[in-house]
Amino acid sequence: MPDDGAVDGSRLPPKQRTIKSILRWGKDHPPVAFVPKIDPRDWSLRVEGEVENPLSLNWDLFQGLPKAECRRDFHCVEGWSVLDCRWEGVRFREIVSLAKPLEGAIFVLFECADGYTTSLSIEELLGDDALLAYKLNGKALESDLGGPVRLVVPSKYAYKSAMWITKISFSSKKELGYWERRGYSDTADVWKDDRYSF
């Protein structure tokens, strides 16, 4: 996909180029990846682990949580960036507030409908722009973009923004996710060009 054109160099992280829209699994990513097709009416989110208040949220309950919006650039470890993505969803800190992690439970593991996992610290997830997103640019998030709900953490490469989220576990122990166990950086800091762990 061609670059969109010149962008102020201070806006793009190292070694990134702009494209027009987020690439879609199964369409832009050969070979065709497994894309779960989840009807929101059948979706649920479990929140468990080292918490005072385990949760099970169906679509209606999740939609009833306070809504938030952020406009951020989105960066993939493959080297492409999409500018000004407008995400809508629930700030992750709302989940923290409801579940009430126990003292010392400072890590969060995300599990997805396709078996994918990734993890971050709670500290990395408390910002205004860390969302469990269900809309992109005013439209419901499509399956091949991670719908009905995906994590969005704009300061990290996109493999930390897990798609098709179904379970969140809080823990005092760090567990590496799918790509992190295969040599990708666990910190995934886009501004430090922190792509690989070797």
- Three-state helix/strand/coil letters over 27-63: CCECCCCCCCCCCHHHCEEEEEECECCCEEEEHHHHH
pLDDT, position 165: 98
Distances (CA, A) of 154 to 34, 78, 128: 24, 15, 10
pLDDT, position 10: 74
Q: What is the mean pLDDT of the chain?
A: 92
The residue that leads in pLDDT, 5 or 182, is 182
**What average pLDDT score do residues 101-115 get?**
97
User: What are the tokens at 78?
Assistant: 């493959």
Q: Is the pLDDT of residue 169 over 60?
A: yes
**What average pLDDT score do residues 50-78 get?**
97
Within a 10 A sphere around the Cβ of 62, how many other Cβ atoms?
Answer: 21
Name the H helices within the chain: 59-63, 92-99
> Domain ranges in the chain?
17-183
Under DSSP, is residue 64 helix (H, G, I), strand (E, B) or coil? coil
pLDDT, position 163: 96
pLDDT, position 90: 98
pLDDT, position 7: 54
pLDDT, position 25: 62
- Architecture of the 17-183 domain: Alpha-Beta Complex (3.90)
Which residue's structure tokens are 């799918």? 178
Percent of the chain clearing pLDDT 90 (strictly above): 86
pLDDT, position 5: 43
pLDDT, position 101: 98
